[in-house]
Amino acid sequence: MTNKKKKMMYAAMKLFSEKGYHATSMQEIATDAGVSKGLLYKYFDSKEALLIDVFKCNHNNMVERAKYIHFDTTIASTEKLEKMIEIEFEGIVKNKDYFNLLTKSLLIEKNKQVQPFLMQVRAEMLGWHREMLLQVYGDEILPSIWDMVMALQGMLKEYVGFMIQEKQMLKSDQVAKLIVQNMDAIIAAGKGKEPVITQNHMQHYVLYSKQEPLTIQEQLNQMLRKLKNQVKEKKQEVVDYEEILDAIQLFEQELEQDKSRIFLLKALFSFLNQHVSAKDDVVVFEKLLNELN
């Protein structure tokens, strides 16, 4: 994505969040982004298309930061759930404009162009949280799984809202730990009881969901994007900054080949391993690379 397009999307997200979707004009977005209205329309056919791209970009970034943890077999299930909630919590809190836009999205759901994508986003988040809970608590919670998903999302939303709207500082790891403890209690109390939300209630969301397992290449690409962002955030502190970005780019390019050269990927991994400090990421990365071999 070009820097100009990013500026337009950030401007749109900020204005949609502050003024509301309907009250914001394309001219205002262009002015805020420092571009002409014509250039804005060159990138986005309509305000609806711009809104959808804003949702897509933020939703994908938020989910991808947490998804690769799911495949880390070195972390216990409960700890894995805590880490995924923590990352999701931080991702939303750091992007206040996106959270405000999400909380106002019901106001625009009647738009025929936007509604299917909003439904897709909600379906994917519901499916993702369902998968997280089943991984930790097992199939025995299947009869009441959707009630449990609503409880998880409700707690997460309220803590995020409290932190953003009330401007209160909370530690993400403490929030995640408490949410998991609360889920333990809710699930224990709900065993054997008739669910309120059944599979029939959620069928329309299930049809929208695209919960397919990520390929090894997709998982590796997610980790590379995460590493690239970490390096860019600490550019002034990183030795051999350009060389590291070049190595990441070469790795990404090689993964796109029909038949990746494993020896080259391992050589690039060895180089990157010497320049990263997150050892947990290194363990997962190496495991995925071995599976690709």
Q: Which of 221, 292, 240, 234 is nearest to 263 (CA)?
A: 292
Residues 239-285 have pLDDT tens digits of 788 888 888 889 888 888 878 888 888 888 888 888 766 555 666 67
* Cα–Cα distance measured from residue 268 to residue 99, given in angstroms and rounded to the nearest whole number: 37
Predicted pLDDT at 291: 75
* Cα–Cα distance measured from residue 101 to residue 54, given in angstroms and rounded to the nearest whole number: 10
CB 281 within 8 A of CB 248: no
Topology at the third CATH level for domain 48-208: Tetracycline Repressor; domain 2 (1.10.357)
Contacts (Cβ under 8 Å, ≥6 apart) of 22: 107, 108
The SS3 of residue 17 is: helix
Predicted pLDDT at 280: 54
Residue 214 gets the label, from left (phi > 0), alpha (psi -120 to 50) or beta, of beta
Q: Which strand (E) or helix (H) includes residue 279?
A: helix 279-292
Predicted pLDDT at 106: 45
Q: Is the pTM of this model over 0.75?
A: no
Locate the DSSP E strands across 10-127. Answer: none
* Cα–Cα distance measured from residue 269 to residue 36, given in angstroms and rounded to the nearest whole number: 43
Q: Print the SS3 string covering 130-162.
A: HHHHHHHHCHHHHHHHHHHHHHHHHHHHHHHHH
Predicted pLDDT at 110: 54
Q: Which of 123, 122, 150, 145 is nearest to 134 (CA)?
A: 145
Q: Which of 31, 256, 25 is nearest to 8 (CA)?
A: 31
Predicted pLDDT at 281: 63
Q: Which strand (E) or helix (H) includes residue 241?
A: helix 241-255
Domain residue spans in the chain? 1-44, 48-208, 216-292
Q: What is the CATH number of domain 1-44?
A: 1.10.10.60
List average pLDDT for each run of 10 residues in the chain, which is 293 residues long.
84 84 89 93 87 77 64 72 85 74 57 64 81 88 94 92 85 93 94 88 64 65 78 77 88 85 88 71 73 72
